[in-house]
A and B are shown apart, each in its own frame.
Chain A
Amino acid sequence: MKILVCISNVPDTTSKINFTGDNKSFDKNGVQFVINPWDEYALTRAIELKEAKGGTVTVLNVGEADAEPNIRKALAIGADDAIRVNADPKDAFFVAQQIAAIAKQNNYDMILMGKESIDYNGSQVHNMVGEMLGIPSIVPASKLDLIDDSTARLEREIEGGKEVVEVKLPFVASAQQPMSEPRIPNMRGIMTARTKPLQVVEPVAGETKADYVSFSKPEKKGGVKMIDAENAGELITLLRNEAKVL
């Protein structure tokens, strides 16, 4: 079983979000970067499947050199090797093209990633990759099991319920809870990760289709109006007459 897990390098969930250069780019200054939390569900599930059935887990990042600490972290958690496509991940279409190009060279049995990244929240790359490769994409999947060597069983969240999908390998799936419980690397994992292969490749010719022009932040809220717990019912009146939401 050859599994490809795509990860993105994103600001930590608690980061303050700021922009620089006339609000044209994200301000990385003082920001801690992490493996996209959704991608961690995919990574952990891939490692669990490898442990159960044998095979390899390759981690892929389309990004610049500053993503390498988190690529090493993925290796420390249990991936076998890694590929970094050395490019600024400008938009989803460009990233999907890079992933598809790597996938075409390597015949993976499954390509996993998170349901979306917590920075650009696009939720596009997985379906684009599936379409580019002409294989099914199951998005978002909350469960993933192998029935046999050529078939997987997934649960997909839909609005108001879930679907059970059985699909032939290869396929693309995106992960969300409760697919797996993310792991923390242990000391042995951290030591071995240093010597695991991390291959850096240059991007294939790709195109962007969505240009980020500028960023802004939402207006600050006006402050909280407190209501005495003794007169809690007053809240309902305010929500109807003042906030006009009831």
Chain B
Amino acid sequence: MSVLVFVEGFNGEIKKSSLEAATYGYQVAQQLGTSATAVAIGEVHEEALAKLGEQGISKVLYDADSRLNNFVADAYVKVIAKAAQQENAKVLVFSNSNIGAAVGAKLAVRLNGSLATNVTTLPKTDGGFIVTRSVFSGKAFAEVNLTSDVKIIAVKKNALEIANAGSGPATVEKFSADLTDADFAAAPKETIMQDTSGGVLLTEAEIVVSGGRGLKGPENWHLVEDLAKALGAATACSKPVADLDWRPHHEHVGQTGIAVSPNLYIAIGISGAIQHLAGVNSSKVIVVINKDPEAPFFKAADYGIVGDAFDVVPKLIEAARGLDK
């Protein structure tokens, strides 16, 4: 038996969240006294795959079929299921991304496995296989016992640190499943990538700068963008801002938007309704800037500034630009 980790690429490099999944996979393999193999699909640099050895991955199965450069659930499931079978994998590890959660759910049916998404801890393996997952929109944790022979885990982003296991490079082996046209029936017609503020994906970002209605209009968004740029952060917004079309919906974080869990979340002009908190409460450090000292968000913050965004944010930008990298 072995542990199999699915790693995702972005612009040819491996996503940070997948390095976290690789770390998780290696640590589970250590617990179980076995090795961790990775499977990668589509456009990823082979050097990046070999570097997974740093996270403790011994071997990478790589399917470079260019039809897989875009995510196609059925085709991805087939490749990963074949890899799982070949490696006799009993634990499959994904990042809790749209892709990881989707493929995980389909594999749970196909491999008759138990699935836990949003996982925040390594398993407890005495008397079961118990992992902790984030539930109730970050307001609670649940311990779940995965009872099937095959366990599938989607690891919550930024829940554990990427660890360097110090091994040599992983061997990269070419791999392919016998894909047919039917596997591409729901393939995307078209892919539209957004301008991701200096290449930082919101869901992968370690720092997020987010703006609310306190910024008064889309013409003032340069404050959010300039601070984000100075900090190497991604930008986000509150629900009212997306509803008013000041910013696109894919930037909306909150209960019915995207949930983020960065190391640092900076909220500018956001009052902190409970629905907004539900999307950001797993952030490690929260900074709130609001001119209303009664804004509920201050109760959930680690650092706060009561003041007008138009006075405060330029000072932050200046200070951030002055930091030595």
Contacts and interface: CB of A to CB of B under 8 A. Distances in A.
Interface of A: 11, 13-14, 17, 19, 37-38, 92-93, 96, 118-128, 130-132, 136-140, 142, 156-168, 171, 176-178, 208-218, 221-222, 224-229, 232-240, 243, 245-246
A86 B70 CA distance: 40
Given A122-B117, A226-B305, A246-B231, A131 B264 contact: no
A217 to B, nearest CB: 5
A224 B114 contact: no
Given A19-B140, A214-B143, A232-B312, A37 B115 contact: no
Nearest to B199: A160
Contact of B147 (A139, A176, A211): A211
B311 interface: yes
Interface string B261-289: 00110000000001100100100110110
Contacts of B206: 245
A62 B110 CA distance: 22
Given A236-B323, A239-B285, A159 B73 contact: no
28 contacts: A17-B140, A121-B118, A124-B117, A127-B106, A131-B106, A131-B109, A138-B186, A139-B102, A158-B71, A159-B204, A163-B70, A163-B190, A210-B144, A210-B147, A215-B141, A216-B140, A216-B141, A221-B301, A222-B302, A224-B304, A227-B305, A233-B318, A235-B287, A236-B322, A236-B323, A239-B285, A245-B264, A245-B285
A233 B257 CA distance: 31
B235 to A, nearest CB: 13
A123 B134 CA distance: 12
A157 B98 contact: yes
B116 interface: yes
B321 to A, nearest CB: 10
B191 A235 contact: no
Contact of B256 (A14, A176, A214): A176
Closest 9 CB pairs of A and B: A229-B307, A233-B319, A127-B105, A163-B188, A136-B186, A161-B193, A236-B319, A209-B114, A232-B315
